[in-house]
Structure 1
């Protein structure tokens, strides 16, 4: 994402003097951005060919001849842990450019808003709402009291955002160094919500790390739901109360969850999938299936079933 900040690379290395204005991914690299590559894969390095005036963090073990086509026009930083180096450097840049503490808020009709707010027609924003910078809200959308909309969020037309929800809050991305110290990875990708979407009360839709978290048209999200960073919810998805969706998960069209569904990060869920009550989803799911967990049972029965299961597996192994 570009135009988040303006930072001169001479502050990183005095031998360089160009500006970067945002971040981008190794799979979709952009000029004048901060990029990290956590793997020694030719695919990623090939995508960087032609990129100019970027700060690129690479694994220190990468052979120098592999980067001959990118080092002349970019600032290259080598690291044993590019993701950790990226987290530290981006935090430093955001702090020095005032991203965290340089925001101005203005009061209108009982709610607060930041810079570059774009509002459509017939919008209702109740008192005690707080809106960050670079936010766009479409026609006929209702934002209920207590909602927090952070930076870099786009909300479409005819949406209904319920009380005390948080849209675009930073996701939970943590990197640990060799001494066990933990560092938060800044999430500045923002959120993009389509048209005719509902977000329930006390629900969080986290900002993407680098690229956007995306909620497409006609998605309905119940109360008390957590949608992590970089999730993609395709058209018509229904998310019921208590659901937790791990980061970078993609859920296909018209799929739905039941109460207390938990979905592991990084999964691909097909279209028209039903995830039943308290389903623990730990692997990718194809289209048009129903998954669920068994009902609650006594501890004695659970131990007995586990014993039978073990015996069956041992017999099959023979």
Structure 2
């Protein structure tokens, strides 16, 4: 889509330079090959924006634009409130099926779906030999692979928790992405898996196992063979690597990255990213041996 085409749904846009984009995101968002429209309202993020080669277009203020610090090749929209404009554009794009188009449900003949489950009427895929138990709700925008088991009480493809407080009112940010559950995943009872918000996907990779009462927020990505035990809360945009163990009632803050082969012990509150092959404990979580030393020191 080109920036100038946005004027068809938002006539008040002030477009200074046209460009083609196919995703929305932020300077710190991880992308593959997308061409991204982002907002830029604080000069301290200039370096991060310029370093992110996926960002090709910006919504910025007249004050920043006049300083000529943005390279000429970027698409540009001028706004008094770039962040608010960004989310208003996003909401319009969701309404116009920019991120994904509706389609008829595709449910494999071998899938076993309880009469007590509720499946919305469009844009759902359920693969071969998957089992959907009674009391499960599958929302549109859910892509479920083969040999998946979803136990009773789970909600899949729910709206992400994303709001914008502009100082006078609170704006609800529409959920534009999907929930993707890959082959051989098992989700125990009463879990909730949100869809991605900005058109990206919440992803549970192959052989992921979720225990009871787990919340997986929008845009989370969970690597293959990772086990997440009961009561864990994952905030938005969390990335967890392969072969990890997340202990009972652990909480992982938004935007955190957990490396491969990591262990998060029970009740840990993780507020910083964790490198590969690490074990962390405590509130706030630190390397496990340091945590044990601290506990010994206060006895």
TM above 0.5? yes
Cα distance change on mapping 1:225 and 1:58 into 2, 3 Å: same
Cα distance change on mapping 1:134 and 1:37 into 2, 3 Å: farther
Within a 5 Å distance, the mapping from 1:1-318 to structure 2 comes to 9-13=7-11, 23-25=23-25, 28=31, 36-37=39-40, 40=43, 41=46, 44=49, 47-49=54-56, 57-64=59-66, 65=68, 66=70, 68-71=72-75, 76-80=77-81, 82-92=82-92, 94=94, 115-127=103-115, 128-131=117-120, 133-179=122-168, 181-210=169-198, 211-293=200-282
| SS of the residue 1:171 aligns to | coil
Q: Which runs of 5+ in 1 are unaligned?
A: 100-113, 295-304, 310-318
List per-residue Cα deviations over 1:212-242 (Å, max 9, x = no partner): 1111000000111001111111011111111
Q: CA–CA distance in 2 between the matches of 1:22 and 1:240? A: 36
8 A contact 1:221–1:239 mirrored in 2: yes
8 A contact 1:87–1:184 mirrored in 2: no
8 A contact 1:249–1:267 mirrored in 2: yes
Q: CA–CA distance in 2 between the matches of 1:34 and 1:276? A: 38
Shift of 1:152: 2.1
Q: Which runs of 5+ in 2 are unaligned?
A: 284-293
Question: Superposition RMSD on alpha carbons, in Å?
Answer: 3.5
Of the structure 1 ranges 133-142 and 209-218, higher mean CA displacement relative to structure 2 is found in: 133-142
Shift of 1:277: 1.8
8 A contact 2:94–2:176 mirrored in 1: no
8 A contact 1:132–1:149 mirrored in 2: no
8 A contact 1:186–1:209 mirrored in 2: yes
Shift of 1:130: 2.1
Larger Rg: 1
| SS of the residue 1:192 aligns to | strand
Q: CA–CA distance in 1 between the matches of 2:114 and 2:61? A: 49
TM-score where L is the length of structure 2: 0.75
TM-score where L is the length of structure 1: 0.71
| SS of the residue 2:157 aligns to | strand
Aligned residues: 267
Cα distance change on mapping 1:220 and 1:61 into 2, 3 Å: farther
